[in-house]
Amino acid sequence: GAGVSQSPSNKVTEKGKDVELRCDPISGHTALYWYRQSLGQGLEFLIYFQGNSAPDKSGLPSDRFSAERTGGSVSTLTIQRTQQEDSAVYLCASSSPPGTPSSIEKLFFGSGTQLSVL
């Protein structure tokens, strides 16, 4: 596709259930980012993948959160035993490989997944 695709767009779940959020980046983009945005707040960094390198997981808030990226493309963010405080919009972004000319040095964002934990 032409842009970053996230699914589902909305997810309602019960407290204690596990959820999986999917991100399909722009073809050829080696970098993939996950952010969490609570209502009215800024973007909280969660995790960053760059090519085949080990991901930067420094933003994951607890061990209930994990993410993987298969084949350097699609990524899945998994939240286990969801809590009400996990309710937020989860945004995925991708960008072109390092060394790209600065004229296209930017993140392309998906539309996000609105997660509601009841």
Specify the residue, 80 or 96, whose C-beta has the smaller distance to other proteins: 96
Six-digit token pair at 115? 């997660």
The yes or no reply on residue 74 touching other proteins (CB under 8 A) is no
Specify the residue, 68 or 105, whose C-beta has the smaller distance to other proteins: 105
CA angle 102, 56, 105 (to 5 degrees): 10
DSSP 75-86: EEEEE-S--GGG
CA dihedral 45, 49, 55, 58 (to 10 degrees): -10
The yes or no reply on residue 52 touching other proteins (CB under 8 A) is no
The yes or no reply on residue 1 touching other proteins (CB under 8 A) is no
The yes or no reply on residue 61 touching other proteins (CB under 8 A) is no
DSSP class of residue 56 equals: B
Residues that bind other proteins (CB under 8 A): 31, 33, 35, 41-43, 45, 48, 50, 56, 89, 91, 93, 95, 98, 102, 105-109, 111-112
